[in-house]
Structure 1
């Protein structure tokens, strides 16, 4: 039987993935939550993963491009208080339009993050 575990963002050291992006995350057995801080102008290159992603913007704004086969893909500007759901295996990218704090929920947990093989971010 599993038990509940309490975590505080203030106790999790931010991981500096590149000069414009830091990340903290907490992983359970079936999902993962991440707190991502992006400086204005930060680019998250096009990537995809087998995880459903739910992105909640706490502050700032991100422009996501969802590659759906149309030229240039579908653009979504997601601002503070808004949520974008990205299905599994859909190529997508993002640009920080402002300094941004983003909470992402992934299901299942991101194995590439757990094993530090997420080179597209580094």
Structure 2
């Protein structure tokens, strides 16, 4: 991929949601070296433990979530941040009866997202 010489502009408000699975949908945007993804997760969604070669920074914008990372559970409320190292098994679960919005930043870029 050629590096961009100009700024790249976008707005999450103008992007369509992509249905990942029942109870989970995503919007994503990538630059040359990183990807940012917004996820909406509904209470009762099916958690999917996984790992990947990306560092992931999680920001909970709305709601409350338990993040299971490497065998430990971390509760994040609105404004909470968490760094998940590459290749560590993890997943998130909505706490309570309200949807959660979380923003993930991945580095390097996740080409399969955007």
Taking structure 2 as the reference length, the TM-score comes to 0.89
Task: Report the counterpart of residue 96 of structure 1 in structure 2.
Answer: 94
User: Unaligned regions of 5+ residues in structure 1, if any?
Assistant: 68-72, 115-122
Task: Report the counterpart of residue 118 of structure 1 in structure 2.
Answer: none
Task: Report the counterpart of residue 45 of structure 1 in structure 2.
Answer: 48
Partner Cα distance (2:113, 2:36) in 1: 12
Q: 1:23 to 1:35 in 2, by over 3 A?
A: same
Task: Report the counterpart of residue 57 of structure 2 in structure 1.
Answer: 54
* CA drift at 1:93: 1.3
* Structure with greater helix percent: 1
* CA drift at 1:91: 0.6
1:13 aligns with 2:16: yes
Q: Which of residues 68, 71, 74 in structure 1 aligns to 2:72?
A: 74
Task: Report the counterpart of residue 84 of structure 1 in structure 2.
Answer: 82
* CA drift at 1:44: 2.9
Name the count of aligned residue pairs: 109
* CA drift at 1:31: 0.2
User: Unaligned regions of 5+ residues in structure 2, if any?
Assistant: none
Give the root-mean-square deviation of aligned CA atoms. Answer: 1.3
> Deviation above 2 Å: which 4+ runs of structure 1?
111-114
Q: Which of residues 32, 35, 42 in structure 1 aligns to 2:35?
A: 32
